[in-house]
Structure 1
């Protein structure tokens, strides 16, 4: 009976041609760049969104409510298609209107923008909930002590909210790493697309898709270790649940 080694051509994962290992690692690097960039942009949007929802005026709150509701209601694949194609078209039309030529947007920048907009809506709600979880007495005591709003945010609100925000934000990071796979539908050469190309060229579908699954799993495992270290650091001194 033939063993697994004779049924699977492991040389196809070699880093040098005709192996596809190097191509898959390049796709993984592209996926990581999009995930990090999109997650960072999402944090920036989420921070502004949370502050706007908590402390902004009625118009600001209504606009942010529309943004978060729409993004969370529409499937992420549909959002990616809308933002990627419609967003590029709108930008080019605006560029033509002001007298410039067509804008050549890199796939990396477009991918970061798309993931960032999606992440921003979820980050807004995570951070808003974390800020509201800070005991009001701490904020009132800081004001009574004479602290400026920036000092209150830096020394009271931020340290107190992080333990509440980290679980939700860590989950959003893992979602961002997997959402990069959706960019394959718009032709961006991230891990999923190059895996599909490799499998289609060699017909070794099981080998390449299992290899891609292992790479995604490695990202998750490493992320979980780092998230655990960060969470333990910011939960120092907090009472443990019984």
Structure 2
């Protein structure tokens, strides 16, 4: 896939990993639709960065779990850029709670955004990406660790991986690849939230490379999957985690 005159959608792109993915795809030559749920100021700041660097970008508000919002996102992207070649579902939330607590409200909240949201976005992507396009979802290497308190989050991301592999088979004959990227611990607001300094230090030492990942590390993997050298990778989960699991 040559990236000139091609367009990408990145959900959850106002901050964190999604923000850096959007910037990287813009550097790679994609016009980028920046999806955000609520932080318009940060989303517009990403657009301004991309435009200042000579790229093309728009910001589109929408909840990934709401079909009407995602229909609007995809329609706005197509009207603005004329096509959709890459879709990256990066939107996600994480709440730490034990299964014994039985907090269904928080469980439903995580599943709604991470799993239902992925289903809605992948559904739109499956219908709208151009022939030869790329669909990429963000999972998590936490799946392999079974950390206490991560039950809802791990369940949601395990579901995402299942959807990715099924969709890859459903799109047989379309020349559209579907993959997931599963980061290990990455230095983002989502990762730091609710953790003590001791917990962060311990988690940073788990990978053999003995550091937290940077958002740029994950964006580089997405760039590979979305770019001309990633076309033969399909129905895979790339665990970008420094050997974390």
Larger % of strand: which? Answer: 2
Task: State if a TM-score over 0.5 links the two structures.
Answer: no
Greater RCO, 1 or 2 (C-alpha within 8 Å, sep 6+):
1
TM-score class, shorter-chain normalisation, is under 0.3
TM-score normalized by structure 2? 0.26
TM-score normalized by structure 1? 0.26
Structure showing greater radius of gyration is: 1
Larger % of helix: which? Answer: 1
